[in-house]
Amino acid sequence: PFNPVTHWMDGLRHDGIARMDTWLTDFLGAKPGDYTRLAGRMWLIGMVARAYRPGCQMRVMPILEGPQFKGKSEALRALAEPWFGDTPLNLSNKDTYQQIQGCLIYEIGELDAMNKAEVTAVKAFVSSRSDRFRAPYARAPEDQPRQGIFCGTTNHTEYLKDMTGNTRFWPIKVEETD
């Protein structure tokens, strides 16, 4: 009945400065262009949509790629704190579905979960609209509509493994920024 994320969002007031199309460039040093502008915009819209309409379709996951200490994780944390998660995920473990509950943004750091899982499992996990699991002390499994979104971070440039296409993953190269 009470959603702390939407309650917080409802209380925000825009200061009139447009940031949605340039936040990846301004805060992470991504190269300006249509791809960067649209990827950043669509991901933020998806984040807000998932907060207000849990379970809505969100099939994509940006992947921030660049050297260590460029602010990738800190930028994600700043967007979602205190509803941010980054504990490594094990896609074959049932506790993973409990782990992502309550997170607006979940960082898949160094793409550990993607490296250890089959590509089809990763694609299905990222694009799932709800998670079915039995919570501790519950009698039966229940469907929990997804309220959060994912973002990958990596220091590597070669990580995409799907021979049929990697449309769910949006690579964004992070550079030096002030």
Average pLDDT over residues 98-122: 82
Distance CA 130, CA 132 (A): 7
Q: How confident is the model at residue 65 (pLDDT cuts 50, 70, 90)?
A: very high
User: How many residues does this entry show for the chain?
Assistant: 178
Average pLDDT over residues 79-90: 93
Q: How confident is the model at residue 176 (pLDDT cuts 50, 70, 90)?
A: low
Poorest-pLDDT segment among 75-79, 121-125, 142-146: 121-125
Q: Answer yes or no: is pLDDT of 178 > 80.
A: no
**Confidence at residue 175, expressed as pLDDT on a 0 to 100 scale:** 84
Beta strands at 142-145 and 130-133: parallel, antiparallel or unpaired: antiparallel
Average pLDDT over residues 19-37: 95
**Confidence at residue 100, expressed as pLDDT on a 0 to 100 scale:** 95
Output 76 or 158, whichever has higher pLDDT. Answer: 76
Cβ-based neighbours of 87, under 8 Å, separated by 6 or more: 99
**Confidence at residue 152, expressed as pLDDT on a 0 to 100 scale:** 92
Average pLDDT, rounded, for the chain: 90
Q: H/E/C letters for each residue in 68-92?
A: CCCCHHHHHHHHHCCCEECCCCCCC
Q: How confident is the model at residue 20 (pLDDT cuts 50, 70, 90)?
A: very high
pLDDT digits (tens, 9 = 90+) for 40-56: 999 999 999 999 999 99
Write down the pTM of the prediction.
0.91
Distance CA 157, CA 162 (A): 15
